Amino acid sequence: MWMPLAISASLIFAIVSVIDKRLLAHDLPNVSVLMIWTVIGMVFYAVVILGITGIPYLAAPRTIIVCLCSGLSLGLGISLMFLALKYEEASRAIAIVNTNPIFVTLLAIPFLGEYLSPAQWVALLLIVTGSALVSIKRSDNNQLLEFSRFTPLLILSSFCWGFAHLLAKSVLEDLPLPTVFAMQQLGVAIVLACYIRKSSWDGLLQCMKDRNTCILMIVGEAILPYIAIFAGLAAISYGPVSLVTSVLASRPMFVFLFASLLSTKKLSLLDETLTKETIGLKLVSIPMIVLGVVLLNAI
């Protein structure tokens, strides 16, 4: 049950990532405009869901706090990633952040009592390594990977993403899925709201006057992300969090495939460039991810 949900979440997240790339490259003046829209969406869905399901008054205060902390941790992970993206190459940043299943697994074994067989460890490492490779390209100084002063921020971001998944898994046993979803979105919104600038409100209103931008913002930033988040949480609820996050980490593979398709001469919606070296890395990394997913599904 959890595998189709995790793959669906990864696939939809990839579509959202491609839309993000299009919006930030061509339609939005800065990332703060996107953050405003994201915070509005998160608060809207949280209020609607809690209004329908009701605030969980009977739940233990500790459970509510842990649930909210899951969102705060995820929000911190997202904000650290955006901060590092100002100075680091996006490919390197995504590659490091996508190592979060390793942190999830190392924490889930002692705290949640999860157990991974040797074959599952192999599958996890195949997916994480493949996802890292599919995100890598050569930098301006002719190096594939290097350690910079912003690398620790990305490692901390990866840990925060993993810790958020772990906390969500722990409270899904005590709270219904919609409630966890709503509380987590509130936690993320609290963190992201700290980065919003007043001047960006005018930018948002101006962007929404354009028909195509408005459609992308509604479909790609107000509908699809929350379907993906909900599907991901549902997968975490049904399956081992260490394995679910491994499948969720396959998103860069789908991003590469979609971005390459949209960068063809017929569509020309994106401007991704493909070199022989990049194609070679992808031809190695994509089979690794597919093999890892197939292996997990067969176990």
State the residue for tokens 């594939």.
Answer: 144
Total number of domains constituting the chain: 1
Tally Cβ neighbours within 10 Å of residue 70.
26
Note the pLDDT tens digit of each residue in 239-298: 999 999 999 988 888 887 887 787 777 766 666 666 777 777 777 888 898 899 888 877
d(CA 22, CA 128): 26
- When comparing pLDDT for 231 and 200, which is higher? 231
Residue 75 domain boundaries: 2-298
Q: Which helix (H) or strand (E) holds 290?
A: helix 276-298
Which pLDDT tens digit goes with each residue over 28-58?
A: 888 889 889 999 999 999 999 999 999 888 8
φ, ψ of residue 113 to 5 degrees: the values are: 70, 20
Residue 142's pLDDT band (cuts 50, 70, 90): low
User: Which whole number is the average pLDDT over 46-73?
Assistant: 93
CB within 8 A of 288, min separation 6: which ones?
A: 126, 127, 129, 130, 133
Higher pLDDT, 277 or 198: 198
CB 82 within 8 A of CB 30: no
User: Distances in Å between the alpha carbon of 166 and those of 79, 108, 146?
Assistant: 19, 7, 29
Residue 261 CB burial class (10 angstroms; 0-12, 13-18, ≥19): middle
Which secondary structure element, helix H or strand E, spans residue 296, and what is its range?
A: helix 276-298
* pLDDT score recorded for residue 6: 95
Contacts of 175 (CB under 8 A, 6+ apart): 56, 59, 63, 67, 183
Token pair recorded at residue 115: 């157990």
Instruction: Report the greatest alpha carbon distance in the chain.
Output: 59
Token pair belonging to 94? 């995504």
CA 298 to chain centre: 25
Residue 54 makes CB contacts below 8 A (sequence gap 6+) with: none
